[in-house]
Amino acid sequence: MEIRTNFLLNAPDVIDILAFGVHPDDVELCCGGTLLRHIALGYSVGLADLTRGELGTRGNADLRTEEALSAANFMGARFRVQFNLRDGFFSQGEEELMAVIRLIRECRPSLVLANAVRDRHPDHGRAARLVADAAFYAGLSKVVTTGYHGQNQERWRPAMLMHYIQDHQLEPDIAIDISEYMDDKINLLQCYASQFYQEQSPEPATPISGADFFETIRANAKVVGRPCGFSYGEGFQLPVHAGIQDVFQSFPALGRTKNNS
């Protein structure tokens, strides 16, 4: 299968954060608050869907693509791309890896966000491994790729990869404060109207289509945020230990003592 890259919102450009989801709405559900917060802080964000979500129980691929574009605009993302990997049946072969490597090298992110390493949906773990492998191979000079404008691409390895947490309640390594953005996250999710509760909808029920699902999203965010003193948080797992040079800069809550003598 030829792996195409469709540009839903602008062509890829150099950005700070590149967030991958295997299905449209993965990113918004699991790290939407984090992305909203960092966009507000002035960081640039790009989004990538590995599939069009064509096996989803509710809606269809064309509708979900429209919703994904709406969500990207609502969020303020710099761009959104979609690959045409087969939902449910994509592999981690050379072609798939090269497609992801090409995007990473094109937009040269410092931080890459990817699906959960283990989850209820088998696609999530496979996508996590695909993106993690591609992020590594993108840093090898002997892996040769051509950019979207026909140029030879230079190697690029993101400084950090983080896996967001999805349906399974995995233990986070870090939590990001989304307290100020919780309501915005719920509004962002409502861009995917086909996937969530609609009164008298003829569509089949799914684990995320219940009337109380957004309450579950809020409750999970409270659980993640509470140990850190946040009203709401989003959790992430790290494939390696995070290196810190200045513990006070990395953890502002520590503050500084007034007596420096």
d(CA 181, CA 221): 11
Q: Report pLDDT digits (tens) over 35-92.
A: 999 999 999 999 999 999 999 999 899 999 999 999 999 999 999 999 999 999 999 9
d(CA 172, CA 97): 27
Q: Enumerate residue ranges in the chain where pLDDT < 70.
A: 1, 256-261
Our measurement of the distance from residue 15's CA atom to the centroid of its chain's CA atoms, rounded to an integer in Å, reads 14
Question: Which among 234, 253, 226 has a CA at the least distance from the CA of 181?
Answer: 234
Q: Determine the pLDDT at residue 71.
A: 98
Q: Determine the pLDDT at residue 250.
A: 83
The CA-based diameter of the chain, rounded to the nearest angstrom, is: 71
Q: Is the CA virtual torsion 31, 34, 36, 42 positive or negative?
A: negative
pTM comes to: 0.94
Q: Determine the pLDDT at residue 38.
A: 98
Q: Determine the pLDDT at residue 258.
A: 55
All domains of the chain, ordered by start, with CATH? 5-254 (3.40.50.10320)
